[in-house]
């Protein structure tokens, strides 16, 4: 399915199962970026020449496309370098000074832990059960004990593929006057997102995990909160007036985009979103690959899976009893299969499970059941060698 759209696969026989880290890019994304560089490369939001106007229009069109894609208004989209920068922006421009406590889940990526620590916020953690799900009653009692906090939770766990019930989590948080940030890094490529029907306050994501380029992502924020926020960085493009005595800033979202932005990347991001939009059966494909991978893995001896939950998307994580995950990763790589081993930047949940890391297969629209069969054969071979 769709492999022909990706030049990466035209010159090799690789099986690429590390999509949760970053996905491959379709030709349309490369073409859009190339067109910018070869025919209208120019800086944005300054000057009045024709090329600059065209580049500005394309960049702003990218913002509109992204806003539409997630059901937001265009002035609620702040471009950032990715999810990490979006969370850091929110931490220093909004959360620090307004909140004492941030409520996280045990499944969080380090990008949703460190920004709070660096801004001296108190962290409370909602644990997960043996299937790695959040218990909503326990969550409600934690939120009730910590009203007026920020809840910051991942939409899909990058380490285990668990899809959190974010609509319910948001509703409960709002009952206790909490605000909610959802880390959507893994969700953009796998789920339909509608920030208005979710009533989420903030939502962060990266383009490169959804067929777009690296170096660009966004923070969605309800406009009323963006209006309250101070700039994250200062520099060109984000000001009304500057003097040595004082400066005034543009309205959101421009106030948060200091300096020359990732213009080609924003244009590539737009092309990636348009590409995703025209894919039919994306979620069904995802589900069938995951189910197939799970049942194929379960047929192996000594397999350890970490969840039997049905609410999973994108990734499956496992270990083989008595064998180090990295040894498997190395032997699979030698057989041209690229998957991820390690803690997946989610050390707290690894510690809670008493493991150093896992082997993770993560899927994209170009992966096939045949590739899963080949991976399982290569895995069996690796296990025979290592035993
Ligand atoms: N959050 C989750 C759940 C992730 O999977 C990742 C990346 O792996 C991030 C945050 C950080 O994304 P980025 O490195 O693109 O900023």
Catalytic residue among 345, 347, 355, 386: 345
Q: Cis (ω within 30 of 0) for the bond into 253?
A: yes
Residue showing tokens 């539409």: 68
Per-residue pLDDT at 1: 66
How far is residue 114 from each of residues 88, 123, 180, 220, 387, measured CA to CA in Å?
9, 10, 17, 20, 39
Token pair listed for 277: 């939009």
The CA 337 to ligand 1 mean position distance, Å, reads 22
CATH architecture of 280-386: Alpha-Beta Complex (3.90)
Ligand 1: nearest atom to the Cα of 84: 16
Q: Quick check: 123 and 104 in contact, CB under 8 A?
A: yes
The one-character DSSP state at 94 is I
CATH 3.40.920.10 fits 27-277, yes or no: no
Ligand 1: nearest atom to the Cα of 157: 3
Could you tell me which residues are beta bridge partners of residue 183?
A: 154, 204
Provide the residue ranges of all domains of the chain, joining segments of one domain with +.
27-277, 280-386
Q: Is 41 annotated in the active site?
A: no
d(CA 287, CA 293): 10
Protein residue whose Cα sits closest to atom 6 of ligand 1: 185
The CA 286 to ligand 1 mean position distance, Å, reads 19
Per-residue pLDDT at 48: 74
The CA 178 to ligand 1 mean position distance, Å, reads 23
Give the neighbor-by-neighbor strand order of the sheet with 150-154.
77-80, 217-221, 202-206, 179-183, 150-154, 101-105, 122-126
d(CA 175, CA 338): 44
Q: Where does residue 12 rank: exposed (0-12), middle (13-18), buried (19+ CB within 10 A)?
A: exposed
Angle at which helices 263-277 and 50-70 pack, to 10 degrees? 40
d(CA 335, CA 247): 58
Per-residue pLDDT at 11: 83
d(CA 84, CA 162): 20
How far is residue 344 from each of residues 2, 82, 338, 373, measured CA to CA in Å?
27, 17, 14, 24
Per-residue pLDDT at 118: 98
- Ligand 1 pocket test: which of 159, 186, 349 has the largest number of ligand atoms within 8 Å of its C-beta? 186
d(CA 203, CA 220): 5
**DSSP E strand stretches across the chain:** 15-16, 77-80, 101-105, 122-126, 150-154, 179-183, 202-206, 217-221, 239-242, 247-249, 303-305, 315-320, 337-338, 340-342, 358-362
Q: Quick check: 341 and 360 in contact, CB under 8 A?
A: yes
Protein residue whose Cα sits closest to atom 8 of ligand 1: 21
Protein residue whose Cα sits closest to atom 14 of ligand 1: 84
- Ligand 1 pocket test: which of 158, 262, 360 has the largest number of ligand atoms within 8 Å of its C-beta? 158
Token pair listed for 116: 């709070």
- Nearest alpha-carbon partner for 190 in 216, 165, 163, 168: 163
Ligand 1: nearest atom to the Cα of 108: 3
Q: Quick check: 103 and 142 in contact, CB under 8 A?
A: yes
The CA 34 to ligand 1 mean position distance, Å, reads 26
The CA 172 to ligand 1 mean position distance, Å, reads 25
The CA 159 to ligand 1 mean position distance, Å, reads 11
Per-residue pLDDT at 47: 73
Ligand 1: nearest atom to the Cα of 85: 16
pLDDT mean for each 10 residues of the chain (387 residues)? 91 94 98 98 88 96 98 98 98 97 98 98 98 98 98 98 98 98 98 98 98 98 97 94 96 97 98 97 96 98 96 98 98 98 98 98 98 98 96
d(CA 291, CA 176): 37
Which residues approach ligand 1 with their CB closer than 6 A?
82-84, 109, 111-112, 154, 158, 183, 185-186, 206, 345
Phi, psi of 311, deg, nearest 5 = -85, 65
Ligand 1: nearest atom to the Cα of 217: 15
SS3 for 264-316, per residue? HHHHHHHHHHHHHHCCCCHHHHHHHHHHHHHHHHHCCCCEEECCCCCCECCEE
- Measured from the Cβ of residue 72, the count of other Cβ atoms closer than 10 Å reads 24
Reduce the DSSP state of residue 148 to 3 states and report it. coil
């Amino acid at each position: 399915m769709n492999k022909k759209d990706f030049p990466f696969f035209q010159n090799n026989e690789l099986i690429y199962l590390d999509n949760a880290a970053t996905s491959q890019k379709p030709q349309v994304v490369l073409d859009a970026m190339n067109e910018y560089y070869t025919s209208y490369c120019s800086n944005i939001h300054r000057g009045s020449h024709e090329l600059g106007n065209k580049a500005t229009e394309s960049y702003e069109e990218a913002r509109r496309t992204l806003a539409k894609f997630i059901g937001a208004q265009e002035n609620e989209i702040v471009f950032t370098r990715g999810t990490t920068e979006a969370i850091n922006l929110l931490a220093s421009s909004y959360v620090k000074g307004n909140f004492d406590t941030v409520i996280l889940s045990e499944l969080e990526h380090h990008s949703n832990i460190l920004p709070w620590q660096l801004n001296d916020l108190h962290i409370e953690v909602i644990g997960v059960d043996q299937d790695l799900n959040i218990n909503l009653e326990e969550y409600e009692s934690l939120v009730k004990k910590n009203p007026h906090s920020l809840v910051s939770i991942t939409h899909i766990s990058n380490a285990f593929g668990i899809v959190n019930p974010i609509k319910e989590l948001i509703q409960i948080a709002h009952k206790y006057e909490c605000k909610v940030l959802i880390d959507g890094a893994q969700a953009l490529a796998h789920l339909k997102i509608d920030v208005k029907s979710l009533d989420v306050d903030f939502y962060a994501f990266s383009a490169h995990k959804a067929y777009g380029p690296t170096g660009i992502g966004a923070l969605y924020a309800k406009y009323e909160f963006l209006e309250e926020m101070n700039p994250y960085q200062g520099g060109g493009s984000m000001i009304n007036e500057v003097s040595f005595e004082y400066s005034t800033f543009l309205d959101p979202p421009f106030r948060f985009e200091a300096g020359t932005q990732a213009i080609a990347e924003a244009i590539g991001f737009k092309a990636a979103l348009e590409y995703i939009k025209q894919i039919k059966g994306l979620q069904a494909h995802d589900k069938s690959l995951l189910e197939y991978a799970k049942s194929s893995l379960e047929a192996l001896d000594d397999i350890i899976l970490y969840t039997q939950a049905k609410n999973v998307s994108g990734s499956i994580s496992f270990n083989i009893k008595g064998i180090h995950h990295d040894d498997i990763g190395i032997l699979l790589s030698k057989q041209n299969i690229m998957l991820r081993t390690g803690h997946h930047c989610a050390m707290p949940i690894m510690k809670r499970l008493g493991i150093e890391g896992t082997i993770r297969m993560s899927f994209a629209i170009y992966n096939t059941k045949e590739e899963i069969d080949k991976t399982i054969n290569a895995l069996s071979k690796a296990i025979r060698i290592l035993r």
